[in-house]
Each structure stands twice: as structure tokens, then as C-alpha cells.
Amino acid sequence: MSAFKIGALALATCLMTAWLVIASWFLNNWWSNHLDFVPKPPPAFGAWLVDIFGSTNAEEAGDIEFLFGYVVCFAIVATLTWLLLVAWRHARTVIFGYCVD
């Protein structure tokens, strides 16, 4: 593998990681500002998370809420990104007749 391909792969990995982190953060921020548009987890689940992490005040409970939302948003963004990349690769295969790498 040439140095150019290794550099391009490293750049693509960094850009994909940055996309996943930033898009997840923005989605979590939107979600926390528009709570009426998304389903809420059951209160028992929230109480269980607070018990597991040993939250003693509202600030720690808010941190748990942020981390839970971020994990869910990361899973959503990662899944949608993967589906988009698979669809894009399939479209290129259909258009060009073979996979272009």
C-alpha cells in the first residue's frame, strides 16, 4: 500500500470520527432542547441509571442524562451514516457496473 493511500485512509478515518462525534453532539443538543419531539425513556430506567452511577445531586443526574442521550444519538448517527455509505456504494456499483475504490 502506498504512502498516499495510507495518508488518505488516515484522513478519511479522522473525518469520519469527527463527523460521528460532532453530529452526535448536535443531535443530542437538539434532542435536549426539543424533548416533546422524541420519545422519553421510562422513569424506571432513569432511576436505574441514577442508582447505577450513584448520582447524589441534580448536576450528576444531568451528566447522566447527557451521557445517555449522547450514546443514543451516537448510535443513531452511526447507523444512519453506515446506511448512507452502503447506499452510496451500491449506487456507484449500479451506475458504473463495478465497485470503484
Which residue bears the cell 460532532? 22
Q: Is the pLDDT of residue 4 over 80?
A: no
Q: Is the pLDDT of residue 100 over 70?
A: no
Per residue in 64-93, pLDDT tens? 989 999 999 999 999 999 999 999 888 888
67: nearest Cα among 92, 41, 88, 91: 41
Neighbouring residues of 32: CB distance < 8 A, sequence distance ≥ 6: 65, 66, 69
Contact (CB, 8 A) for 66 and 32: yes
Q: What is the pLDDT of residue 24?
A: 97
Q: Where are the domains of the chain?
A: 3-96
Higher pLDDT, 16 or 46: 16
At residue 12, φ and ψ (nearest 5 deg) are -65, -40
Q: Is the pLDDT of residue 19 over 90?
A: yes
